[in-house]
Chains A and B, each alone.
Chain A
Amino acid sequence: MITIKNKKNGQGLKSAVEEISGVDISVCFQCKKCSSGCPVAKLTRSRPSEIMRQLHLGAGNELLESDIIWMCASCETCSARCPMGIDVAAVIDALRKLALERGASKQKGNVPLFNRAFLKTVETFGRSYEIGMIAAYKLGTGKLMNDTEKFPAMLKKGKIALLPPRGGDRKIVRRIFKTIKQNKGAKA
């Protein structure tokens, strides 16, 4: 069942999503192919087609609390199968951005923290550095020892690199991050 709550705090969620993603939400006719193919829909409270419908009906910031926003694996099956050619995965990306900008609650797994940890290593080294990213993420979640029992075997087999990557053009990557941060500042 779809429940739309009052939208006094959610001004412009549909138009904001459309602006960020470049998607026309209104062409969705609820065939539900996106939900049928979605690998995480069986685990989430809300499904992609419901998100589309809620946006269409004028849902506000409460939609940014949907668990699918951070459980979506970005597999893009929804976008690939949409008969109207809607890039549903881009809609989810837009909702992620809005969830962060508008301060939606943290969810299980804290995917935004993981993404920040990943991108921080890219900004620092020019390439991603798995152990650095894992350490930063685990420190952030406070669950340091969670899921670490495989590390000794991985290190022994050389399945994960101990040292940070070298050789990446750090200058260009820092320029990219700096420019995008500046532009964001200008827009806000």
Chain B
Amino acid sequence: MRYAYYPGCSAESTARDMHQSTLAVARALGIDLVEPKGWTCCGATAGHQTDRLLAVSLPAANLTKVQDMKLDMVVNCAACYSRMKVANHEIAAHSEIRKGVREALDRDYDGSVKVRHLLEVLLEDVGLEAITKAVKHSLNGLKVASYYGCLLVRPPKILKFDDPENPTSLDRLVTAMGGTNLEWPCKVECCGGGLSLSRTDVVVELTGSIIDMAASVGADCIAVSCPMCQVNLDLRQQDINKQTGKNYQIPIVYITQLLGLCLGIGSGDLGFNKLMVPASVVLEKVNERA
């Protein structure tokens, strides 16, 4: 299993923990991840809010690098994943966009590089059976609320990732790891995404209702697979508490961090020390070994 792995900009900053745990889990499961040399930003939300051609050309610069590697692209950041797939779609569906991208890149690209989310690789290529077998330490019934956010599932017609209203990819992994998978209604609600700094008030409102719901279903932690969701839900709990007088301390962990623990990888190698809300409840549960 060999893939071109696009880490995305946050992998070098606010999502180092996602990056670190992705690499550790891949190594443990025999997934070979090769970074495209000189990969660049996908443009994220700022890109498509500014200019359609910019929003397609920036991902295309990376897709052509991967095309030269003759591999499929694997992405773990939900936002990058969505932008890459939308760019492929736009280029394949609209000749004038393809022409604009050709001008911007000085190279023609047909939108054909296959883009996959790491969760798809884990569930489809590695498989739940192999993952269950590789699990050394169980989550011991840890109550996990799986949170998918927006860009892992939207736009559904283009991404075709799981069920867009009730996805279960994270849930299935949680069950395979011996966790208690919680039913809750906020799986694909929005955390406020890129408004984190510009409209913090909106983000505190949106993350507040998600954290509220997770607490009311008794979640020990929330499992995510998107750096924007992770940062917003993790960082803003302090603000939510300040605003509402509550005292939420729900750890927001990447699914790769949970999986890493279960595969026997040390928490230090999975970036657990980087979380703002400490994940001690998670670490204690996994350490409850019979």
Question: Could you tell me which A residues sit within 8 Å of B by CB distance?
Answer: 20, 22, 39-40, 43, 70-71, 73-77, 79-80, 85, 87, 89, 93, 96-97, 108-111, 113-116, 118-119, 122, 126-130, 134, 137, 147, 150, 153-154, 157-161, 165, 167-170, 172-173, 175-177, 179-180, 183-184
Query: In the complex the two chains form, is A161's CB within 8 Å of B193's CB?
Result: no
Report how far A173 CA is from B16 CA in the complex, Å: 23
Known pairs A137-B197, A165-B9, A176-B104. 14 more at Cβ < 8 A?
A: A43-B205, A97-B50, A109-B199, A113-B198, A116-B46, A127-B39, A154-B276, A159-B16, A168-B38, A169-B39, A172-B61, A176-B54, A176-B57, A176-B58
Check A160 against B13 for contact (C-beta < 8 Å): yes
Do B104 and A157 touch across chains, with their CB atoms under 8 A apart?
no
Q: Which interface class (under 10, 10 to 19, 20 to 34, 35 or more) fits B?
A: 35 or more
The reply to whether B38 and A167 contact each other, CB–CB distance below 8 Å, is: yes
Stretch from B131-139, B148-156, B166-174 contacting the other chain: B148-156
- For the residues of A in contact with B, the DSSP-based class is helix
Chain B residues near A183: list those with CB within 8 A: 53, 100, 103
Q: Assuming the A-B contacts A74-B193, A172-B40, are A180 and B14 also in contact, with contact meaning beta carbons closer than 8 angstroms in the complex?
A: no
B235, CB-defined interface residue at 8 Å: yes
Task: Name the distance in Å between A62's Cβ and chain B's nearest Cβ.
Answer: 21
Q: For B192, what are the chain A residues with a Cβ–Cβ distance below 8 Å? A: 39, 73
Query: Does A111 contact B154, Cβ atoms closer than 8 Å?
Result: no
CB of A93 within 8 A of CB of B202, answer no
Whether B190 and A73, one on each chain, are in contact in the complex, defined by CB atoms closer than 8 angstroms, is yes
Residues of A within 8 A of B9 (CB): 127-129, 165
CB–CB B41/A109 < 8 A: no
Asked if B45 is at the interface of the complex by the 8 Å CB criterion, the answer is yes
Q: List 13 A-B contacts (CB under 8 A).
A: A39-B192, A71-B199, A73-B193, A109-B198, A122-B40, A127-B9, A128-B41, A128-B44, A137-B197, A147-B200, A153-B276, A154-B276, A169-B65
Cα of A74 to Cα of B198 in the assembled complex, Å: 14
Given A75-B154, A118-B46, A175-B106, is A159 in contact with B14 using a C-beta cutoff of 8 Å? yes
On chain A, the residues within 8 Å of B150 by CB distance are 73-77
A75 and B193 contact, CB distance less than 8 A: yes
Nearest 3 A/B pairs, CB to CB: A169-B38, A75-B190, A161-B13
Distance, CA A167 to CA B41, complexed state (A): 11
Instruction: Point out the residue from A109, A113, A179 that lies within 8 Å of B103, measured CB to CB.
Output: A179
B12 partner, pick from A80, A111, A114, A127, beta carbons under 8 A = A127
